[in-house]
Structures are given as C-alpha cells and as structure tokens.
Amino acid sequence: MTSASTVLALISLAIAAIVFLVSWLNGPQFITGWKRFERSYLERLHLALDAIYSRTDPKKYFYTHVGVATFFFLIISWLLGPVNGFLVAFLVGIFPWFSLSKAKRKRLERLEEQLPDGLISMSNSLRAGLTLPQAVGILVDNTSPPINQEFGLMLKEHRLGLTLDEAMNNMSERCRSKNLDLVITSIQVARVAGGNLPQVFEDTAEAIRAIRVLEDKIATMTAQGRLQAWVLGALPVGMAVMIYKVDPTMVEPLWEDPIGWIILFFIAILEIVGIFMIRKIVSVDV
C-alpha cells in the first residue's frame, strides 16, 4: 500500500471514528435528528410512490437506499478517499429520486397518449344516452393504466360526495398535464354553457393529436442538440480514460491529492450544469 493510500485509509477511519464518537456522546440528539430525517424522507417518498400508484413499502425502500449509499461511501472512501466517497454516495443518494421522477414522467406520457382514444370513448357513450359519470365508468372499465386509474379515482371521489368539478380539479392537481387540463377545462365550459359535450370531446381529441404531432416534430428537430449535450458531457470522461491508459501518472493526482478531489468535484458540477443548460435550450414548450 502506498503512502497516499495509507493516508486515505487513515482519514476514512478518522471520519468514521468522529461520527461514532459524536453519535455516542449525543445519542438522544442524534436519534431525534435521524427520526426527523426519516420522517421527512418517508413523507416525500410516500407522495412520489403515490404519484405512480406504486405499492412499494416506503420504509423498506428508505432503509435499502440508506444502506446502499452507506456501503458505497465506505468502499469508495477506503479506495479513493472520503471526498470521492462522499461524491459517489451523493450520486447514489439522488439516483432513486431521478428514477421515481422518470417513472412519473413516463406515466404522464402514457396518460397523454391514451387521452384522445379515451375522449372518443366517452363521446360515443354520451351519444348513446349515458350521463357523464356513466361515460367515465365505461372508460374506466375498458381501458388500461394509467388513464383508468386517474379517472377511476376521480369517479370514486365523485361518488363519495365531491362534485364532478371538484373531482376533476383534484385529478388535474395530481397529474399536472397540459392536455388533461385542456380536457377538464373543455368539460367544465361545455357543462356551464350547455354545449354539445360529445362534439367537444371529439374536437379536443383532435386538438391533442395535433399537439402531439407537433411535439414529435420538434423532438426530431432538436435531437441533434440533445445528442450534443451527451457528447460534450462524456468527452472529458473519455479523454481522462484515454490519458490514463497512455500515462496513468498524469491522471492519478486527481484522486490521490486533496486538490485533485476538489477539481473532480467542480468538474462534476460543471458537467451537470452544462448538460442541463443545453437540454434547457433545446427544449421547446408547445
């Protein structure tokens, strides 16, 4: 083991000893702080899991997340130092939230894909003489998630005493979809003004299809910009790997020297900021 590795191992042991000593001397305060963090985490996690209708146990999810992050922190701290261990643990810590956010976004995209066909289904039901709640019930019984889950919950709230407008507003707040807001607004206006609701559904379905065609065209036109974001983000990492293969001594100071850890930290921050800025530039709101 080199002297640098010995120093890193000693620093890691010192950090672990300090954490243990602080926890032992301030047991009640530490436990109170941990319980407060756990409660806050579980509240946010419960909302995130409810948003995607997941039945995952929040407590099991929480302790698995904390255990994996702690494991990576200890391993990387022992191999590359506590600063790199903290960086890796931070990335591991935020990954599940990105995963949940992506799952929610995919679910919303699927909901918006189902909306036009769902509107046509409700339009046909209304033309057959059914009421709006009955048309929603037909939609719930003959479609797949996520649209049947959202409209089914709306229908349950209406049957439990909420007005139809209140139940629809609650669905709008849950989903936060522009297309769904368009549907809800068209329903509420047609019910108040006494318009032809089946025709409103058909026109709204056609408008949503046109919006999706435009969004797909914009996504195709901006694909090059999104690819540039990933290429520019991967370029420094790829160059570092190639330089390491040619001459490892040129790159090793980055994780063997404290100044190198600071440089790696700022590189990671600037990489993330750059990727998000490029993606923000190429994203067009329809």
Q: How many domains does the chain have?
A: 2
Q: Are residues 193 and 243 in the same domain?
A: no
Q: Are residues 149 and 171 in the same domain?
A: yes
Whichever domain contains 120, its CATH number is 1.20.81
109: enclosing H helix or E strand: helix 82-127
Instruction: Choose the final residue of a domain: 168, 202, 217.
Output: 217
Q: Are residues 128 and 201 in the same domain?
A: yes
Is 249 part of any domain? yes
Instruction: Choose the final residue of a domain: 217, 243, 260.
Output: 217
Tokens 């890796």 map to which residue?
88
Q: Are residues 192 and 249 in the same domain?
A: no
Is 284 part of any domain? yes
pTM beyond cutoff 0.95: no
Going residue by residue through the chain, which has 286 residues, state the pLDDT in tens, using 9 for 90 and above.
Answer: 455 555 555 555 556 555 555 555 555 665 677 778 788 888 888 888 888 888 888 888 888 888 888 888 888 777 777 777 777 888 888 888 888 888 888 998 899 899 999 999 999 999 998 888 899 999 999 888 899 999 999 999 999 988 888 999 999 888 888 888 988 888 888 878 777 888 888 998 998 898 888 888 877 877 777 777 778 778 888 888 888 888 888 887 877 777 888 888 888 888 888 777 877 776 666 5
Tally the C-alpha atoms within 13 A of residue 128's C-alpha that lie toward its C-beta: 11
Is 178 part of any domain? yes
Which pair of structure tokens corresponds to residue 74? Answer: 């200890």
Q: Which domain holds residue 240?
A: 222-286
Residues 240 and 251 sit within 8 Å (Cβ to Cβ): yes
Cα 123 to its chain centre, rounded Å, is: 34
